[in-house]
Amino acid sequence: MKKFLFLTLSVCVVFFTACSPDTTPSLGKVVDGYLVNVDDQGIILQGFDAVSLRKGGPLKGDPKFQSTYHGAVYLFATAENKAAFDANPVAFEPEYGGYCAYGVSVGNLAPIEMWTYDTTYQNRNIFQHNQKAVNGWKKDVPGNDALAREKWAKFQQQYVKKG
């Protein structure tokens, strides 16, 4: 009985610690004043070439072709794609720091799956976490986007230290 009580208490402590609103995001980092979904090397989009996504063929980037923008390192498959990005990075930057758009709309920072990439809403670079998030987002894209913008502003206030 003591083991069960100890185990239950331990699980509760871990759960409440993980869900505490004062914890830092478990995903991504604040880099150069930007909250971005990057790996330990600062690479965004899981190393995929943001320009190739726009061209319809997702390609893995090569570290010899890279640029840094808004705190994230972008990798490109070719020098031409890097040049296109450098000329207009806003056209290729993922919305919501590269986090799941639907997750942000419901107040969560969630990782993304590359296959969920979508530009059909206002020609913006939107990613989701999984099929459930894709379905939730599509139920009300303008409404979910409005919620995501509101929540994203709150994430910025919460995690990004303005000096």
Q: pLDDT tens across 97-113, in order?
A: 999 999 999 999 999 99
Nearest residue to 114 via CA among 127, 97, 99: 127
Q: pTM, whole model, 2 decimals?
A: 0.81
Q: What is the pLDDT of residue 56?
A: 86
Task: Report the amino acid identity of residue 121.
Answer: Y
Whether 94 has a pLDDT exceeding 50, the answer reads: yes
- Kindly give the pairing relationship between strand 126-128 and strand 34-36: unpaired
Rounded to an integer, the average pLDDT of 77-104 is 97
Average pLDDT, the chain: 86
11 or 96: which leads in pLDDT: 96
Q: pLDDT tens across 20-73, in order?
A: 344 444 565 899 999 999 999 999 999 999 999 999 889 999 999 999 999 999
Question: DSSP letter string over 23-63?
Answer: SPPSSSEEETTEEE-B-TT-BBGGGB-HHHHHTT---B-EE
Tokens (6 digits) for 14: 């871990």
Report the alpha-carbon distance of residue 163 to residue 50 in Å, rounded. 30
Task: Report the amino acid identity of residue 6.
Answer: F
Contact 100, 112 (CB under 8 A): yes
Cβ partners under 8 Å of residue 73, min gap 6? 38, 41, 42, 43, 44, 66, 67
